[in-house]
Structure 1
């Protein structure tokens, strides 16, 4: 037994020395922590047709010599879709006191669980969340993006990039059985792209940096652009319209404006059609550039952040259509063009902008170096109404001295102008209701017109001043909802009055 005592003393001494030499590790914490990530966005590009999951990984680096301690890592949980992560054996939506040793890194594995049968308000088409790293008051994020529904996704997750459709001057038809989601923007070149009855087209917007010009500019993402040899044709029916709107289908976004850029018809683009279509939630519904043309018929453009139609020296035909709740001049023409409008309702309420703006010139930002092009407009059996005292702006650079360069005629329509409209521009439009707007009603604020502006119900009131104001146009025997028009004295606007 005595022979073991020296060994026991030696072991005790070693333990004492080890404990005495142990030094507590000092971690860099709080705002002093500097992290580097292998990516700023983790994407899950699996399109689920049934409930499933997918896993992706990325690395977090500590480039410093000292170890760092991250106070908290958590999923933002801004969506109804479940994201969880695994770091150093910890799994869940949250982890605390995550350590990265000096000049070292850690893997983080992220898993997403998607059920495409969930409603869009639970599992939207594009699911966006974030993995949040908190150290003191400093917060850094890695974006998480997944597909939340079974759909036809154009451009994958290439947000801010352009997807080009070309078909050697043929026709490409968007799928009808599944919604089409544009994440980024779509260019149509040497091709006619058609959306047939019932097609649903959702655009995902946002502000992006233009890398094509060195990252020095920004643009609004989420648009469809037709090039000179490209055309877009939305060909719905009364029963199955083509719907173009934001990909956020939650109820609170239904009437939310400016969620994506909209449709852009580039210079020279022809044969563009919106027929029985609904275009909702854009920044600008349709932008029509030089010498481009479009026909809009039996369609609705609503909840835009700006104009429903913004035209620049272009050719536009609008028939049997309703434009409402657009937060800008509803229809505006710059540097002339041609506008033909029949049985159309413009309801420009709740915004300090005009329903119809027509000009035959364009100037630089200093109001100098102006160029002009003829403006020709014909409006029949239509309504131009809104919250302003005057809903029409006509600006002729030649002040009436060159009549062929500003040729506007409005017949059998309801409009709203005030006394200033008649006296401004040296009284250029003093005889507006005798020469330009014939058989028109100048709408007073007290006049009955629609069923309910507050409820966005733009059917005509039984006492509406638009009733029986029009003349019958054989090409438009039915209104926007398919109701027969009076063949002797139809109502002005897109909707014929119906007895309750």
Structure 2
């Protein structure tokens, strides 16, 4: 009874209050709005690629609810910016209310065609303003975007149906249709220069018997689910060079996603991979940075070539959401290579193959959980029914390397034994994270006293990286890797990745050590 009486009284009060409430009364805007910033800088975008969404906060600091007669872009409908005000999209808005001591967000985006402007020299600073009210009460917030021109490589589209093409590949003389969106590069597209960035949509395939050459200083950007394919008989030559400025990396070749905003600078998985098909030949990468891919390099087949299918030198692979390098029964030689931050392994040599790594730093400081260590080696592949096909791991040699990370162990040697195949690996003068003090890891492959597989290595000592989580893997003066390299390997790779001579007192890994500031 008491509860029913309470409900009746409560409902009666609400009805009385609502019948007496007056509609909100808004005062005219006084021109005293405050803003979270006086200029909204939209980070660099490529021509005709939409920007991220940026926000501006507008404050009403007064004790009155106010009405803003108009909020608009100064260039009106001709502006290349778009606004979202109070949940509405457009370029001009009328009668916008802000309650007393309250605020609202304005969201800003842009898409700009640099070809609409002259004398751009590859870049153009595009500006506009958001105008609040008019006359003596007019207030403005500047909008600024740097637009960069680029060479776009994208799948051809049918003018009627807008269907994106899929790649047809020549494999052993047979044309094979794939489900990969993209197309083969044309003859005039087989040399990338530093004159303009390249933006690739879908997979760009290097045709059979052709070579894609990427010159020093070139910048190659990939859209989501895009990459390069080096087909049978084709080659990739990345000819980067040492940069004088290690921040600008002006002479390196950089391959990354097409989002230029700082918030995307280290986000993994923004694009696909550089895929070396079985049968591609004579591939080389020198002074390149490959970052934010799903798989940095995917290399298939040709394990028994006289030299190697792929030689990669003086290069870095960072922030791969899956593997830094995934080799599948292939042949790779690496010198002065740095790999870090991979969602699975930084290097995986699977289904056998032939691998030779000298003065490399293979680390993994992935911030989340991962299934595999920094280095994974196996000699098999499983089919859909979990049946294994086994093949030879002809060689997997790691010389004067650092193999480390934020997990333990950081090597996995996953062999299916078979008398008909070999599983050859050797770690010589390497610094390795492999703590087996609890004897949890068993098997002959982990006998660290077996000199057929382990010679002169250092286990579980701090490499003293400068800042591993941010891909700064140069070692400091406290590193256990200092002066532990074998001279014979240093002679093969006489300078480090920064061109510092290492022949007199070689350190392990891709870098000779430096002295860090005190706070490091």
Q: Same-fold call, TM > 0.5?
A: yes
Kindly tell me: are residues 347 and 47 of structure 1, through their superposed partners in 2, closer, same or farther at Cα, counting changes over 3 Å?
Answer: closer
Kindly tell me: are residues 448 and 197 of structure 1, through their superposed partners in 2, closer, same or farther at Cα, counting changes over 3 Å?
Answer: closer
Contact 2:155–2:181, Cα closer than 8 Å, also in 1: no
Contact 1:433–1:440, Cα closer than 8 Å, also in 2: no
Contact 1:83–1:113, Cα closer than 8 Å, also in 2: no
Contact 2:124–2:147, Cα closer than 8 Å, also in 1: no
Query: What secondary structure sits across from 1:252 in the alignment?
Result: helix
Q: What is the match of residue 265 of structure 1?
A: 276
Kindly tell me: are residues 121 and 264 of structure 1, through their superposed partners in 2, closer, same or farther at Cα, counting changes over 3 Å?
Answer: farther
Q: What is the match of residue 367 of structure 1?
A: 386
Q: 1:288-322 CA deviation, whole Å, 9 max, x = no partner?
A: 11227211100000011111100110001110011
Q: 1:347-366 CA deviation, whole Å, 9 max, x = no partner?
A: 21135331111111112133
1:301 counterpart = 2:317: yes
Q: What is the match of residue 67 of structure 1?
A: none
Shift of 1:274: 1.1
Q: What is the match of residue 184 of structure 1?
A: 202
Kindly tell me: are residues 186 and 429 of structure 1, through their superposed partners in 2, closer, same or farther at Cα, counting changes over 3 Å?
Answer: same
Q: What is the match of residue 415 of structure 1?
A: 432
Contact 2:47–2:149, Cα closer than 8 Å, also in 1: yes
User: 1-side partners of 2:510 and 2:359: how far apart?
Assistant: 5
Shift of 1:187: 0.7
Q: 1:325-378 CA deviation, whole Å, 9 max, x = no partner?
A: 122111002210010100000121135331111111112133224332334111
Which residue among 163, 173, 179 is the counterpart of 2:183? 163
User: How big is the alpha-carbon RMSD for the aligned residues of Structure 1 and Structure 2?
Assistant: 3.4
TM-score by length of 1: 0.65
Query: What secondary structure sits across from 1:311 in the alignment?
Result: strand
Structure 2 stretches lacking a partner, 5+ long: 1-45, 49-72, 74-78, 84-88, 95-109, 127-145, 158-163, 165-179, 244-250, 304-308
Q: What is the match of residue 134 of structure 2?
A: none
Query: What secondary structure sits across from 2:235 in the alignment?
Result: strand
User: 2-side partners of 1:258 and 1:491: how far apart?
Assistant: 32
Which residue among 250, 255, 262 is the counterpart of 1:244? 255
Kindly tell me: are residues 375 and 355 of structure 1, through their superposed partners in 2, closer, same or farther at Cα, counting changes over 3 Å?
Answer: farther
Contact 2:373–2:408, Cα closer than 8 Å, also in 1: no
Which residue among 229, 254, 276 is the counterpart of 1:225? 229
1:479 counterpart = 2:493: no
Q: 1:9-62 CA deviation, whole Å, 9 max, x = no partner?
A: xxxxxxxxxxxxxxxxxxxxxxxxxxxxxxxxxxxxx968xxxxxxxxxxxxxx
Kindly tell me: are residues 354 and 118 of structure 1, through their superposed partners in 2, closer, same or farther at Cα, counting changes over 3 Å?
Answer: farther
User: 2-side partners of 1:390 and 1:112: how far apart?
Assistant: 48
Query: What secondary structure sits across from 2:185 in the alignment?
Result: strand
1:234 counterpart = 2:238: yes
User: 1-side partners of 2:442 and 2:124: how far apart?
Assistant: 52
Q: What is the match of residue 471 of structure 2?
A: 456
Shift of 1:459: 1.1
Q: 1:74-111 CA deviation, whole Å, 9 max, x = no partner?
A: x9xxxx95259xxxxxx954799xxxxxxxxxxxxxx9
Instruction: Report matched runs for 1:93-492 at 5 Å.
Output: 93=91, 113-115=112-114, 149-155=148-154, 161-165=181-185, 167=187, 172-190=190-208, 191-205=210-224, 221-239=225-243, 240-291=251-302, 293-350=309-366, 351-352=369-370, 353-398=372-417, 405-419=422-436, 424-432=441-449, 434-444=451-461, 447-472=462-487, 473-485=490-502, 487-492=503-508
User: 2-side partners of 1:113 and 1:398: how far apart?
Assistant: 59
User: 1-side partners of 2:504 and 2:193: how far apart?
Assistant: 42
Kindly tell me: are residues 223 and 424 of structure 1, through their superposed partners in 2, closer, same or farther at Cα, counting changes over 3 Å?
Answer: same
User: 2-side partners of 1:152 and 1:417: how far apart?
Assistant: 46
User: 2-side partners of 1:228 and 1:303: how far apart?
Assistant: 28
Contact 1:303–1:324, Cα closer than 8 Å, also in 2: yes
Kindly tell me: are residues 256 and 421 of structure 1, through their superposed partners in 2, closer, same or farther at Cα, counting changes over 3 Å?
Answer: farther
User: 2-side partners of 1:266 and 1:173: how far apart?
Assistant: 20
Contact 2:182–2:201, Cα closer than 8 Å, also in 1: no
User: 2-side partners of 1:122 and 1:388: how far apart?
Assistant: 46
User: 2-side partners of 1:411 and 1:377: how far apart?
Assistant: 11
Q: 1:152-192 CA deviation, whole Å, 9 max, x = no partner?
A: 1112686673120254xx99311321111101210111310
Shift of 1:229: 1.6
